[in-house]
Amino acid sequence: MDNVRVIKNPVVYLNLCVMRDKNTDSQGVRIAARKITRCLLYEAAKNLPLVDTEITTPLTTFTAKTVDPDINLIISPILRAGLIFTDEAIDILPQATIRHIGMYRDEKTLKPVWYYNKVPMEAPNPEKFYIYITDPMLATGNSLIEAIKLYADKGIPIDNIKVICMIAAPQGIENIHKHYPDIEIITAAIDSHLNEKGYIVPGMGDAGDRIFNT
Ligand code: URA
């Protein structure tokens, strides 16, 4: 599939098995999920612009590469399950800002319903913005499309916006690419299909419930 990066890494496979298993308790799901998010975020971070910086080690001074400190790096978790990415994200990318997006899925229509939006900012230099929208489950893709729109409508280049998920359904990927053909989706797995209730099969069940023990 174009514009979909599936992370092929034994650490990811191992932790996907733990996370998906119905016998794994909530704490186990969270631990496994965080390890997967870390791998996904490292992969996403490959698009960040670099600058030279002078570093003095105990031995010498030299010019090293680092992440451009002048970019606006935004992690946008879709509440609530997307929160599982945030601790890892700010650990490995300390300059990131977290901007939450609250949407739930109407159980009948499967359409997203907004309840919280922490993306009120203008983007005066849109090319300086780098956005990672996080949601462990890319099911119908409807919430993610709304979230992408929020940023794309501010003029942020689509190349600077990434969707990061753990498990994706083919229908959801297709839906996102129908609206935004050029957006890159980074995922740990592409599963078989969505069932009639909009759950990913084989999936992991309700990610929010499994992560937050509800
Ligand atoms: N959201 C979930 O939590 N799980 C699914 O399978 C689909 C959407």
The count of other CB atoms within 10 Å of the CB of residue 104 is: 15
Per-residue pLDDT reduced to its tens digit, 23-82: 999 999 999 999 999 999 999 999 999 999 999 999 999 999 999 999 999 999 999 999
Let me know if residue 115 belongs to a domain.
yes
CATH at 189: 3.40.50.2020
Let me know if residue 96 belongs to a domain.
yes
Let me know if residue 60 belongs to a domain.
no
Let me know if residue 112 belongs to a domain.
yes
Residues contacting 30, CB < 8 A, separation 6+: 84, 211
* Atom number of ligand 1 nearest to Cα 198: 7
pTM: 0.94
Task: Say yes or no: CB of residue 150 within 6 Å of ligand 1.
Answer: no
Cα(153) to centroid of ligand 1, in Å?
A: 27
Task: Round to whole Å and give the CA distance between 130 and 163.
Answer: 11
* Atom number of ligand 1 nearest to Cα 207: 3
Task: Round to whole Å and give the CA distance between 105 and 214.
Answer: 17
Let me know if residue 58 belongs to a domain.
no
Let me know if residue 24 belongs to a domain.
yes
Let me know if residue 98 belongs to a domain.
yes
The pLDDT, as a whole number, for residue 153 is 94
Task: Say yes or no: CB of residue 29 within 6 Å of ligand 1.
Answer: no
Domain that holds residue 14: 4-53+65-212
Task: Say yes or no: CB of residue 206 within 6 Å of ligand 1.
Answer: yes
Number of domains in the chain: 1
Cα(131) to centroid of ligand 1, in Å?
A: 22
Let me know if residue 105 belongs to a domain.
yes
Q: What percent of the chain has pLDDT over 90?
A: 88
Task: Say yes or no: CB of residue 167 within 6 Å of ligand 1.
Answer: no
